[in-house]
A = this chain, B = another copy of it.
Amino acid sequence: MLQGAQFLGFGRSGQSNDTFSSFNPRTGQPTGYVFYRATIGECLCALELARSAFEQMWHVGSLERAAFLRAVADGLEKAKNALLQAIIMETALPPLRIQTELVRTQFQLTSFADLLEKDHWQELRYDPAQPERKPTPKPALYKMLVPVGPVVVFGAANFPLAYSVAGVDTAAAWAAGCPVIVKAHPAHPRVSEITAEVITQAALQTHMPEGIFSMLFDDGTQIAQFLVQHPYIKAGGFTGSLAGGMALYRLAQQRPDPIPFFAEMSSLNPVILLPKALQNRAETIAQQLTHSICNNMGQFCTKPGLLLAIDDNATAQFLEYLKGYISQVAAETMLNEGIYRNYLHCRNRAMEQQGVEILTVSDRKAHLEDQHTAIPTLLKITSEQFLKNPVFAHEIFGPCSIVVLCPKEAIIWQCLEELGGQLTCSIFGEPEELINCRDKIFTMMEKAGRLIFNGVPTGVEVSPAMQHGGPFPATTDSRFGSVGADAIRRFLRPVAFQNCPTDLLPLSLQNQAITTNQ
């Protein structure tokens, strides 16, 4: 086994002389693991394997794919210690969080396996023939969802398991019947490598076609751009920055044959704080928000980045609590140097704007020797400043949040209306003041994919009733989500079979007693 080499189907390849290192963000030093930059030749090989696997996968039953997904989940369990060690080394995430994320990743894989063991995800439809119909006979019609084709996945830095190599995009694509080529995230290549080894073993064990999975290493943009534009690729999934997501999305759209490209990119996750809730529960809400803003150094796409409240005494008291709690949070190492530099840049830019008041900057380090530590920061501006300066509507990825003080409730809603699309919108309020906001539910809904009442946006449940997605620029397509079983729909398309001999129908249509269901 060639450490640091590409995964091309069941084999490894390190054609290039060109390598890059993995880094430990705590020390800023190389980890000792080195990775070959994928060549275009290796890309083409992965693409050919995926193309050929796609056709073979059509003959692999849903139950067999489910077995593969379960084998990946089991394999991750066995690789737990190696993964834990690599994640700590490459991302500085705390062990407890990694364990939770591993469980979540396994749950995602097995949830899709559960889904595959039923049939409804294929949306089977049948209209019987009416040979006697006038003026023309009606032919029998069947419809089902089929996979779109090979999918390219770009994982996220902040979820090295749940949104990376064997994360939800990959699992959803496999569940749909699509081969996946993963471009390994350069901030956790060793974690990616261990995961890819697990996947390869699981694919071999469960007799999946070679090419159901390949993985390529690159710390630049060339391989990503090549993959997104290649005619064999029929869809893409991405989680990361607005700039990165949009660059790939634009390439996907500018192809001679545009493809769906699902990028989850940027969200402020506004939180509306109504006055009575702050009067009655200022301290509790401050505690909840501190955790939501600062946990894992705020490196969540659902971190609340904007707090909208009325400029009154209750809010002033609440801000005292919030300042107090946030100032107690120690600065810790961010996921990687790039994210750290970006945090500093975005936070500092916000701090330098006219009218910004710095409520607290907590620069006490958890571990003195650590590099690239994020400084939890709480800023305050007036709604007037917010409404005239678009800088405040940019996501600051990390433990920073901006309080916007509004002269009255109507201005809170005006601020919300000025925002682009969001993953979430939260509101804290007492029952009677929530009821008074009834007419504003529409506004919240128009802006976000998930509305949260008296709760914080972080801590995304993996469940069929979850929507993780939202209007642009939160994601590139608000009609789909990337958490829960419905995420499979991104990689499926309907096909109708008219007057088809039963023997030639896909097995799911043959085996089922399908009834017209609309």
Cβ of A441 < 8 Å from any Cβ of B? Answer: yes
Cβ of A479 < 8 Å from any Cβ of B? Answer: yes
Instruction: Let me know if A451 and B497 touch, CB within 8 A.
Output: yes
Within 8 A of B (CB), among A445-482: 445-446, 448-455, 459, 461, 463-467, 469, 471-473, 476-479, 481
Chain A interface size band reads: 35 or more
- A259 surroundings in chain B (CB, below 8 A): 472
Q: A464 vs B503: C-alpha distance in the bound complex, in angstroms?
A: 22
Q: Give the residue of B451, B478, B499 whose beta carbon is less than 8 angstroms from that of A148.
A: B478
A402 smallest CB distance to B (angstroms): 22
Cβ of A17 < 8 Å from any Cβ of B? Answer: no
In the complex with contacts A139-B455, A461-B127, A466-B141, A445-B516 CB distance below 8 A: no
Instruction: Let me know if A127 and B500 touch, CB within 8 A.
Output: no
Instruction: Let me know if B504 and A441 touch, CB within 8 A.
Output: yes
Which of the listed residues A146, A437, A469, A478 has the most CB atoms from chain B within 10 Å of its own CB?
A478
In the complex with contacts A445-B495, A473-B257, A143-B466 CB distance below 8 A: yes
Within 8 A of B (CB), among A218-268: 249, 253, 257-260
Which of the listed residues A125, A454, A516 has the most CB atoms from chain B within 10 Å of its own CB?
A125
Cβ of A518 < 8 Å from any Cβ of B? Answer: yes
Cβ of A131 < 8 Å from any Cβ of B? Answer: no
Within 8 A of B (CB), among A432-450: 434-435, 437-438, 441-442, 445-446, 448-450
- A143 surroundings in chain B (CB, below 8 A): 464-467
Instruction: Let me know if A455 and B495 touch, CB within 8 A.
Output: no
Cβ of A493 < 8 Å from any Cβ of B? Answer: yes
Instruction: Let me know if A501 and B434 touch, CB within 8 A.
Output: yes
Cβ of A431 < 8 Å from any Cβ of B? Answer: yes
Instruction: Let me know if B492 and A479 touch, CB within 8 A.
Output: yes
Cβ of A354 < 8 Å from any Cβ of B? Answer: no
In the complex with contacts A435-B504, A464-B125, A466-B141, A445-B146 CB distance below 8 A: yes
Cβ of A485 < 8 Å from any Cβ of B? Answer: yes
Q: A115 vs B445: C-alpha distance in the bound complex, in angstroms?
A: 23
A447 smallest CB distance to B (angstroms): 10
Cβ of A420 < 8 Å from any Cβ of B? Answer: yes
Cβ of A12 < 8 Å from any Cβ of B? Answer: no
In the complex with contacts A143-B464, A479-B148, A518-B115, A499-B253 CB distance below 8 A: no
In the complex with contacts A58-B442, A504-B441, A451-B494 CB distance below 8 A: no
- A421 surroundings in chain B (CB, below 8 A): 257
A433 smallest CB distance to B (angstroms): 11
Q: A492 vs B503: C-alpha distance in the bound complex, in angstroms?
A: 36
Using CB atoms and an 8 Å cutoff, list the residues of chain A in contact with chain B.
55, 58, 115, 120, 125-127, 136, 138-139, 141-143, 146, 148-149, 249, 253, 257-260, 420-421, 431, 434-435, 437-438, 441-442, 445-446, 448-455, 459, 461, 463-467, 469, 471-473, 476-479, 481, 484-486, 489, 492-501, 503-504, 506, 516-518
A-B pairs with the 8 shortest C-beta distances?
A: A464-B518, A467-B496, A141-B465, A125-B465, A450-B496, A257-B472, A127-B465, A143-B465
